[in-house]
Chain A
Amino acid sequence: MSLTWFFEPFRHEFMQRALFGCALIGFTNGALSAFIVIRRLALMADAMAHSLLPGVAVALILFGLVPGTLFIGALVAALLVAFGTQIISNSSRIKEDTALGLLFACSFSLGLVLISFSRVSVNVTDYLFGNILGLGDADLWVIYFISLIVLPLLVALERPLLLTVFESSVAASQGVPVNTLKYLLMGTLVLSMISSLQAVGVILALGMLIAPAATIYLLSDSFTSMFWLGGTLGCVGSCTGLLISFWLNLPSGPCIVLVLGVIFLLAYLFSPKYGVATRLLRPRHLHEASLARWKLNEREQTPANDNEPQR
């Protein structure tokens, strides 16, 4: 049987670029997803993704369709929304989710209004779903640099971040700069979101920012493994999705997220410790340990008669 089809994707330069981008974005987003899942920022990340729109729109109006400026526009917009949210929630009785929801709705609307002024026609589908097969040099550099900033930062600050996400008042009492770290986490979230913008688009970026750690969360009781295995899963899963989309001639962004989704589903069902199906399949009435003890007791009580004659 010929395996040409298997090696086919690796021969095209656009696929090599796409795989490189996928691996990096997948790992960075996957590692970061540990924090998103634990700090329950999933919806916030979603809102943030949408709020990138006005930045993109302003960049479009001012500079036309130039990739670099679109990223900077998105960055500024997202940072404004992220910090605006923190400032409003820290300085008034409005809670974080409310502040974010409000700012994100306004920001998305502003983006739509601004886009109507743009002379360039914008393909909103690309913005929402990305175009990983069209990654140019500039896009790859952006992805590369963002990974280079985000990953070492998260690794270097592992301890204070862990203290902060576990129990922030205790962390603060030990002198950890809790608020700074929360801003920093927001900042890395925005950066990762932007690096995913071109590849999978804002909607699907969300999948890459949640699914990996959500999966590992069902498999492990260690935050460190959520971080590293989440990254690995994001990387491997994204590349697998991309290859599948090539072989089966399917849209790539959705394929990537679906692969991650299927892996999550498997963990949800069959995780040894927290799986739903695993729980149902377990022996019904007894813990293994107490069952064993019970059997042992029974054997100890009966054997006197049974064993003696055998010797």
Chain B
Amino acid sequence: MSYHRLEIKDLTVSYRRVPAVHHVNLELRCGSCVGLLGPNGAGKTSLFKALVGLVPLETGSMNFHGASQSLVKSAIAYLPQRTTVDWDFPITVRRMVEMGRYQVLGWWRSFRQEDRQAVDRALEAMELAEFGERQISALSGGQQQRAFLARALAQEAHVFLLDEPFSGLDKPAQDLLSGAIRRLASAGNLLVVSHHDLRTVRDLFDQVIFLNGELVAFGDTNLVFTAENIRKTFQTHIFSGSAHEPDLVL
């Protein structure tokens, strides 16, 4: 039986001809919560940006249950790191979530009853209903991250790419957020989450991707999240040549 999935084939992304992500092949099932692990500069953000079309693909293709990238813009939501947003922006939480509906409505069509309901549902799903009228800086870090998720939900996305959502969150906020992410996954969505705190990986993710320029390992967390793969991903230097490992050159 075929299941909904995001297939990535032979994907390469380069900046000024220097590859950031190299020939990556992945097949991600909807309904799972996938951790994307790798050191700084491993190409985690580049991979996300390539998936939503922010940077051109040098090689390869992607495919979301049968549709190519250009057709699935609204199905894939990219949630940038919290630090990239101007939180003083004059907008309330509700208005920000409404922006997710622009994707469905286009530039001119006005809000219908069903759009308002979609926004209500998204806010409720992320337990933000009571904060709708707050200005966005009046939310805590975890709430801000959930507001992003609510916006993606309102967009009716099926694939959520979250860039370091857990960074800077304390334990209770982290638990709330991971609960929200779990619920989204069990509702049949695919969540890919870049993450750097290795201690929490087992609690958070069904599957993990180890990335360091190229794909090091991918699979179920209990099988792939091993000391060996962690060492390979975080201690070898795939693109920096042999300078760090002179012994091996001999």
Contacts and interface: CB of A to CB of B under 8 A. Distances in A.
Interface of A: 38, 156-157, 159-160, 162-163, 166-167, 169-170, 172-175, 217, 220-223, 226
B74 interface: yes
Contact of A175 (B49, B73, B92, B105): B73
A126 B240 CA distance: 60
Contacts of B84: 167, 169
Contacts of B103: 174
Interface residues of A, dominant DSSP: helix
Residue from B74, B90, B105, B135 having most chain A Cβ neighbours under 10 A: B90
Contacts, number: 64
Given A169-B84, A174-B74, A38 B107 contact: no
A163 B90 CA distance: 13
B90 A220 contact: yes
- Range for the number of chain B residues in contact with chain A: 20 to 34
Contact of A173 (B78, B105, B108): B78
B108 A156 contact: yes
B41 to A, nearest CB: 18
A170 B78 contact: yes
A169 B99 CA distance: 14
Contacts of A175: 53, 73
Residue from B49, B76, B91 having most chain A Cβ neighbours under 10 A: B91
Contacts of B73: 173-175
A83 to B, nearest CB: 23
A26 B231 CA distance: 63
A170 B99 CA distance: 11
Contacts of A163: 99, 102
Interface of B: 49, 52-54, 73-74, 76-80, 84-86, 89-92, 95-96, 99, 102-103, 105, 107-108, 135, 155
A221 B54 contact: no
A97 B70 CA distance: 34
Residue from A159, A160, A162, A217 having most chain B Cβ neighbours under 10 A: A159
B232 to A, nearest CB: 30
B52 A221 contact: no
Contact of B89 (A159, A170, A223): A223
B53 A173 contact: yes
Given A167-B80, A170-B78, A174-B74, A223 B107 contact: no
B5 to A, nearest CB: 20
Contacts of B52: 173
Nearest to A157: B107
Contacts of A166: 85-86, 89, 91, 96, 99
Nearest to B138: A221
A217 B90 contact: yes
B102 A222 contact: no
Contact of A167 (B77, B85, B92): B85
A217 B135 CA distance: 12
A165 to B, nearest CB: 8
B80 A170 contact: yes
A169 to B, nearest CB: 6
Nearest to A273: B135
A159 B54 contact: no
Nearest to B155: A174
Contacts of A223: 89-91, 95
B74 to A, nearest CB: 7
Contacts of A160: 102, 107
B78 A169 contact: yes
